[in-house]
Amino acid sequence: MNFSKLIADINASKPGPETAAIFDFDGTIIAGFSATVFLQDALTRGELKPDELYELTRALTGFGLGNMGFSALMAVHAQYLAGRDEDEYTRNSERLFRKKIARLIYPEARELIAAHQAKGHSVAIISSATPYQVLPAARDLNIDRVFCTGLEVENGCFTGAVVKPTCFGEGKVDAAQTLARDTGADLSQSFFYSDSVDDIQLLEYVGRPVTLNPRKRLKQITKENNWPTTTFDSRGRLSVNRFLRSVAATGSLVGSVAAALPLYALTGSKRDSLNFSISLFADTCSALIGLNLEVTGEEHLWAQRPAVFMFNHQSKADVAVMARLVRRDVVAVGKKEIQRMPLIGQAMGAAGVVFIDRSDRSKAIESMAPLATAMREEGQSLVIAPEGTRAPTRKLAPFKKGGFHMAMQVGVPIVPVVIHNAGDIAPKGDFVFKPGTVRVDVLPPVDTTGWSLEKMDEQVTLVRNMFLQALGQPEQTVAQTLEEQKALPEDMRPEKAGKATKKPRKAKAAAKKKLLSKRPKTTGTTAKVASKGRQVAGKATTQAKTKVAKTSTAKPTSTATAKPKSAASPTGASKGRQVAGKATTKAKAEAAKAPTSAAKPTSTTAKTKVAKASTSAAKPNSKANPAGASKGRQVTGKAPTKAKAKVAKAPTSAAKPAPAAKAKAKAKTNGKSKAPAKSVGAKKAMTRNSRTENKPRGASVKPKLASTR
Give the whole-angstrom CA distance, residue 605 versus residue 596. Answer: 25
> What is the arithmetic mean of pLDDT over 512-533?
41
Q: Is the pLDDT of residue 212 over 50?
A: yes
Average pLDDT rounded to a whole number, residues 68-85: 74
Task: Specify the higher pLDDT residue, 440 or 540.
Answer: 440
* Residue 644 pLDDT level (bands cut at 50, 70, 90): very low
More confidently predicted of 111 and 597: 111
The percent of residues in the chain predicted with pLDDT above 70, rounded, is 66
Angle formed at CA 472 by CA 466 and CA 474, multiple of 5 degrees: 75
Looking at 499, 516, 549, the residue that finishes a domain is: 499
Instruction: Quote the CA–CA distance of 444 and 455 in Å, as a whole number.
Output: 21
Per-residue pLDDT tens over the stretch 146-181: 999 989 999 999 988 888 888 988 999 999 999 999
Cis link prior to 228 (omega < 30° from 0)?
A: no
- Say yes or no: 301 and 189 in one domain: no
3-class secondary-structure state, position 635: coil
> Using H for helix, E for strand and C for coil, what is the string for 451-470?
CCHHHHHHHHHHHHHHHHHH
CA distance 431 to 437: 18
Residue 137 has pLDDT above 60, yes or no: yes
Share above pLDDT 90 across residues of the chain, in percent, rounded to a whole number: 41
Decide if 264 is inside a domain: no
Handedness of CA 306, 397, 433, 337 (dihedral sign): positive
Longest dimension (CA), the chain: 107
Interstrand relation of 436-442 and 414-419 (parallel, antiparallel or unpaired): antiparallel
Q: How far apart are CA 171 and CA 445, in angstroms?
A: 54
C-alpha to C-alpha distance for 579 and 304, rounded to whole angstroms = 76
Residue 567 has pLDDT above 60, yes or no: no
* Residue ending a domain, choose from 230, 246, 264: 230
Please tell me the least confidently modeled range out of 68-72, 131-135, 175-179, 187-191: 68-72
Distance in angstroms (rounded) separating the CA atoms of residues 145 and 21: 11
Domain match, 37 and 113 both: yes
Where a domain ends, among 185, 201, 230?
230
- Same structural domain, 479 and 569: no
- 187 inside domain: yes
Could you list the residue range(s) of the whole structural domain that residue 214 is in?
A: 3-230
CA distance 83 to 160: 7
Three-state SS annotation for 578-604: CCCCCECCCEEEECCCCCCCECCCCCC
What pLDDT score was predicted for residue 283? 94
Indicate whether 153 belongs to any domain. yes
Q: Look at residue 643 and tell me if it is in a domain.
A: yes
3-state secondary structure at position 384: strand
Q: Distance of CA 436 to CAs 144, 286, 312, 395, 425, Å?
A: 29, 10, 18, 20, 6
Half-sphere exposure of 420 (CA within 13 A, CB side): 19
> Any idea which of 329-338, 389-398, 669-678 has the lowest mean pLDDT?
669-678
Asked whether the predicted pLDDT for residue 14 surpasses 60, the reply is yes
Examine residue 520 and state whether it is found in any structural domain, yes or no: no
Q: Are 55 and 76 contacting, i.e. CB atoms less than 8 angstroms apart?
A: yes
Mean pLDDT of 479-485: 90
Please check the confidence at residue 327 and state whether its pLDDT lies above 80. yes
How confident is the model at residue 402, as a pLDDT?
A: 87
Tell whether 219 and 138 lie within a shared domain.
yes
Secondary structure, 3-state, 99-119 = HHHHHHECHHHHHHHHHHHHC
- Is 657 within a domain? yes
377, 457: one domain: yes
Instruction: Quote the pLDDT of residue 551.
Output: 38
- Angstrom distance (rounded) from CA 464 to CA 71: 42
**Concatenated DSSP letters of 197-252:** GGGHHHHHHSSEEEEES--HHHHHHHHHHT--EE---SSS---HHHHHHHHHHHHH
| Nearest of 97, 158, 160, 105 to residue 133 by alpha carbon | 97
pLDDT-wise least confident of 108-117, 139-148, 413-422, 489-498: 489-498
Domain assignment present for residue 349? The answer is yes
- Give dist(CA 408, CA 401) in Å, integer: 11
Domain with 323 in it: what CATH number? 3.40.1130.10
- pLDDT, the chain, mean: 74
Q: How does DSSP classify residue 97? A: I
CB atoms within 10 A of CB 374: 19
Whole-angstrom Cα distance, residue 278 to residue 126? 47
Question: Cβ distance 544 to 603 under 8 Å?
Answer: yes
3-state secondary structure of 689: coil
Q: What is the DSSP string of 7-56?
A: HHHHHHSPPSTTSEEEE--BTTTBSS-HHHHHHHHHHHTT---HHHHHHH
Tell me how far apart the alpha carbons of residues 208 and 76 are, in angstroms, rounded to a whole number.
33
pLDDT of 670 above 50: no
Q: What does each C-alpha distance from 175 to 149, 206, 264, 364, 373 come to in angstroms?
A: 11, 12, 67, 52, 63
Lowest mean pLDDT among 45-49, 75-79, 237-241, 528-532: 528-532
pTM reported for the whole predicted model: 0.66
pLDDT attached to residue 465: 96
Same domain? 218 vs 312: no
Answer yes or no: do 576 and 684 share one domain. yes
Which pLDDT tens digit goes with each residue over 40-67? Answer: 888 888 887 777 778 777 777 777 676 7
CA–CA gap between residue 423 and residue 360 (Å, rounded): 28
Phi then psi for residue 291, to 5 deg, are -90, 125
Do 216 and 300 fall into the same domain?
A: no
Provide the CATH number for the domain around residue 146. 3.40.50.1000
Same domain? 56 vs 143: yes
Q: If you average pLDDT over residues 213-217, what whole number do you get?
A: 89
- How many Å apart are CA 57 and CA 212, to the nearest integer? 28
Q: What is the DSSP letter of 98?
A: I
* 349 plus 494 within the same structural domain: yes
The contacts of residue 430 (CB under 8 Å, 6+ apart) are 103
- What value, to the nearest 5°, has the Cα angle with vertex 670 and ends 669 and 674? 95
Task: Answer yes or no: do 216 and 334 share one domain.
Answer: no
DSSP assignment of 510-572: HHHHHHHHTSPP--SSPPPPPTT-EEEEE-B---EEEE----SS--BS-SSPP-PPPTTS-GG
Tell me if 429 is assigned to some domain.
yes
User: Which of 37, 35, 90, 79 lies closest to 54, judged by CA?
Assistant: 79
Q: Distance (Å, rounded) from C-alpha 621 to C-alpha 627?
A: 13
622 vs 20, higher pLDDT: 20
Write down the pLDDT at residue 49. 76
Which pLDDT value is given to residue 144? 94
User: How far, in Å, CA of 516 to CA of 51, rounded?
Assistant: 13
Per-residue pLDDT, 322: 94
Name the DSSP letter for residue 141: T
Is 182 found in the same domain as 54?
A: yes
Most confident of 169-173, 347-351, 394-398, 439-443: 439-443
| Structural domain total, the chain | 3
